[in-house]
Structure 1
Amino acid sequence: MRYLGLFIILFSHAAAFAAVPPRLFYAERLKTTADTDTIIRKRSLSVGVSYGNDAIFFGRVGPVKYPFVTTDVVYNDKSGLFIYGSGLKVLGYDPVFDEVDVGGGYFYKFSKKFSGAISYTRFIFNNDAKIIKSASSNDINFKNSFDWKVTKSSVVMDFLFGKSNDFFVTFSQSKLIEPSWSIFTDDDYLTINPSANVIFGTQNFVNTYTEDRDIRKMGDYIYSARMDRNNRRFTVLNYYFKVPVAYNMPHFTLEASYRYSIPVNVENVLQNKHASFFNLTFYYLFY
């Protein structure tokens, strides 16, 4: 990689919308910063904004589509420590902010091929927040990646606790592609980072979400103890394929990302179907 303008997200990210810390050099989670892949080991500050056509949380979405905008600030220290904050606004609804996240963690690198990070995130929601993620309030995230050169393998573990407790494991296989040619100037370049992912986990958050948001009042919703038992099982939740394409300059990145999601073992009112998700992300890096 030629420049320092790239980060990895969780969440996930995992991930989804994140779902997990946006945050810095790693993860799917969620989150909300770009999906590219360079490691930065110097003091830096990044500020970003992202748009998504629907909020997805570990392979699940609510019964109504919630397009959103997020803002993120991430500070990275040379030691590998980092702190971050973000805000999320669901478009078309009253709260000024539906969610504010704060957290921090540590990035480590054992070798050129093996790296990882551990972090903690606190989710703070408006009382009127409608996104499915609002059933959780804390996340401990642990990610390890191994670069085979041909592809990169990642394993992300998330323990979420608060109103509901859930555990997730996300396996990802990705390939970073960086064409040798520039676009407009000698300093710019493209990166493409397609990945195939599978999410395993429990889904107690679904029970909490349906209770908190009175979704049980919806027309064809039928509640049963069997659904609760199934949601407590650790099982496959989602398969998804993601293709982020980023335009990079030394200090900023503009990225468009497409995700095709295949939810499985869905219980309760969230009878999700195969769906497409789109994200547009811009962030600026100071170092």
Structure 2
Amino acid sequence: MVLLGILYVYLGWLILIYMLMLLLLVAFLVLLERKVLGMVQARKGPNIVGLFGMVQTILDGVKLLTKKFVFSGSSMFFYIAPFMGLMLAFIHWFVVPFPFNFWNSEYSVIFSFVIMGFLVFVVLWAGWGSESGYGLIGSVRGVAQMISYEVVFMFYLCCFVLVMKGYNWDDFLGIEMYVGTFLKLFLFIVWVVLILAELNRTPFDLVEGESELVSGFNVEFSGYSFTLLFLSEYMNIWFMCVLSALIFGECEGLFGGILWGAYVMCILLVRGLLPRFKFNQLIKLMWGVYLPVVFIFMIVVLVFFSG
């Protein structure tokens, strides 16, 4: 019993350190994004607080956490949604080999699919629970967008699952052998578009309403609740970049770190270079173009890799 207690304490500290590392990655990503957008728009970005503005992100986080939280909704989902969003963002990382697996399962890919499906409820509960018309419209937009791309996204990943003949993310470590034969350049382009839609990033940040000048489903959130939603969104950016390196390259070592940085820079630059799509354009793109293309990929995989 004593050894079991020590093991639990050690595991708890390990998880806590792991979560703090992820939060530091989010802080670095926010600072990097503001610097990149500043260069794209020919301005300096944050440069006052700390050396070259490096402490600006930390102080902004402290300001958000100490800001007054306004209880605009009486539904319990208004309070549950931010915590659930951050919790799901943390759970995402427990099944990917970065830098090791907390939970090594043969069905970790399916587990990630389930977590992505639960993220739909976070958006829906946050908008509907706020009892605001703007928040509800933003959540409906977000759910419609998620339904449009998640079907394509999951079928797309199933193509790689069929190639690897397994449902474990560890099996994807060897998938780089197919680059140049099966995984062509257009496959990577499809993947980039899908993860941009998954992350609600430009040009697919359609939950924001330009005509209403509101931010979407989180418009009524402030203080720590908005901070939790913000952290979960940016933590998912790192998660998708790790998956990109896992599928299309190397996830470990120095080369893996360079790939993560390249994918992150790609996502940040897209926000500064591309305009926002219309809502109907995303739906037509996913259901009318990408879904048939992904089905063709799957047929090719079944024909050439079924054995």
TM interval, short-chain normalised: under 0.3
Higher relative contact order (CA 8 A, sep 6+): 2
Which structure has greater helix proportion? Answer: 2
What TM-score, normalized to structure 1?
0.27
More strand by share: 1
TM-score (norm 2): 0.26
